[in-house]
Structure 1
């Protein structure tokens, strides 16, 4: 039994760039994702959507997350063809989108014509060592919430971000918080999602990590509202609890640098090149292994794992995630 546990732990350690035999560590797995919604309309797509597209092009992200309301006013096939495609259409091969309320006005005809049927489906995609779960709130919110729960559970060994259009919390003057999305927010926080992304209010806002009730929590989920994609920017109204940063006035996009250990950093940039907000979040802490529940043949390995984890290079992107998996292997009866 000890040999099989040792081999299993060694295999997982090797996959994370660590080894019981002192093999070299793998390089960190991380990349950048761009995110914005509320993008292109007939009266401002040249100054708005075209400018944010140039900004994103210069950053060359691994993935572009289009956060809904991509073409105004009704998300028709012609509106996508005339306003969205000439600007953000260049990112089609690496775009993942969710529909907004304006796409829903045309029965999603435009968004599916431009980005395919999957753009309106609940689905999960992998990027930067993370699982990004995208849901369509306009089909069925409870169904979307159930999908978040199921997909996050099926990928519980990687960090999670969740995307839908109308933010649960928002200080925007036009729409503000959307109480009807609470089932999705509750599902995301229960699943341990690190980030939730939305648009809808045409502004940028960052919230502190929060729990399912919207209370500040160091271990909670951080919400970003990224609605400066280019169309009709709007102001703020009543500031909501736990709102940390608000910005409006110029089109822009949010850039997230995601790391496989669950840490991330963010930068909200406007089309004039100004960074309006930036910061970082460390990887989630893990509970210490409980030797009382560990299989006897694994206790010595747990001690060695802990020692090697402490010595592992800081750039080992999978370190925290893999140690959690190793702990589970060692403590499962």
Structure 2
């Protein structure tokens, strides 16, 4: 379903919130995420691993573009300001949740993903969830040579090496769903991920080994985006391979905002830097892309339909504001043959933005 802050959506907020509280969060509400809370630091930082499937499926959380460096003028111990460095409050959303996994979507530690900053900042807020984290790197991680700070911090969870020679790429299962973590930094105009590349060989072999499963893929750079960074054409072969393999959902970040696209079909790149307009298709024939770059750093603007007419009618929900910023987490419940999503704002929530719904898998 697609709804973008409609009047009908607002009239039914109470009903939908109650439904999603039952479906998404059987153990706690978002307003009180843990039984113990300190008024200065917020909820106690614990996450309860979901070791057995709930009747409604497994709960995951995802977000990228997270932790400011202490050198940032508005860092303020992670409290930040209404415009940025809100990693502390975003991390609060994970407290007490019964999660199957937390998916950090890259650019986890600004500005250069240094080992000492991962240890002193990112770990301070998201370290309690490290055991259930299944990360992918962003471009800022690679501002330290070979992303050494990122790989050093996450260790085996980041899968620095695999038998295909594709660092940072791996897959695993959550309940009835197959999860594919892609290192999008490895696809560029200089290092193409076309047929025959190590990336494509790994990806196709992995999907062939996991047929007939609902599938979610995630990485850092969005293929299409109405945000500041725009489209990332080098990922076109990856998107099309995933589409052919029956992938249902793609989660990305990179642009510091929230965008949910309608289900999209085959991608076509006009050049190394420009995409042809995406084609909206029925849900059972496309991939739904979510951009969740709301992890705390700051917000980038989102272009309107006059500035990006090629994306008109393709984006079902979006928000970004450089002064009244949006920070928060995407929660998804992965069930047999379907999924449910809800974007939840970090507190205090300064704007009336909500996005929630359900989807089916191929």
- How do 1:104-119 and structure 2 match up within 5 A? 104-106=142-144, 107-119=146-158
Q: Does 1:247 align with 2:319?
A: yes
| Other-structure match for 2:272 | none
Q: Does 1:80 align with 2:115?
A: no
Rg: which structure is higher?
1
Q: Does 1:38 align with 2:65?
A: yes
- How do 1:43-122 and structure 2 match up within 5 A? 43=72, 44=75, 45-47=78-80, 48-106=86-144, 107-119=146-158, 120=160, 121-122=168-169
Deviation at 1:129, TM superposition (A): 1.7
| Other-structure match for 2:281 | 217
Aligned length: 257
In structure 2, the CA distance between the partners of 1:92 and 1:232, relative to structure 1 (3 Å rule), is same
Deviation at 1:117, TM superposition (A): 4.5
Give structure 2 stretches of 5+ with no counterpart. Answer: 1-52, 81-85, 161-167, 268-277
- How do 1:1-333 and structure 2 match up within 5 A? 28=55, 30-42=57-69, 43=72, 44=75, 45-47=78-80, 48-106=86-144, 107-119=146-158, 120=160, 121-140=168-187, 142=193, 143-172=198-227, 174-213=228-267, 214-218=278-282, 219-237=285-303, 238-239=307-308, 240-241=311-312, 242-248=314-320, 249-261=325-337, 263-272=338-347, 276-284=354-362
* RMSD over equivalenced CA pairs, Å: 1.9
1: CA distance, partners of 2:181 / 2:136:
6
Question: Contact 2:248–2:361 (CA<8 Å) still a contact in 1?
Answer: no
2: CA distance, partners of 1:139 / 1:282:
30
Question: Contact 1:146–1:187 (CA<8 Å) still a contact in 2?
Answer: no
2: CA distance, partners of 1:196 / 1:27:
23
TM-score after normalising by structure 1: 0.73
Question: Contact 1:124–1:132 (CA<8 Å) still a contact in 2?
Answer: yes
In structure 2, the CA distance between the partners of 1:267 and 1:273, relative to structure 1 (3 Å rule), is farther
In structure 2, the CA distance between the partners of 1:77 and 1:27, relative to structure 1 (3 Å rule), is closer
Question: Contact 2:133–2:157 (CA<8 Å) still a contact in 1?
Answer: no
Question: Contact 2:260–2:317 (CA<8 Å) still a contact in 1?
Answer: yes
Deviation at 1:221, TM superposition (A): 0.6
- The structure with the greater share of residues assigned to helix is 1
1: CA distance, partners of 2:186 / 2:229:
20
TM-score after normalising by structure 2: 0.67
* Cα shift readout 1:150-193 (whole Å, capped 9, x = no counterpart): 21121112111111110001111x20111111111111111110
Secondary structure, in 3 states, of the residue corresponding to 1:246?
strand
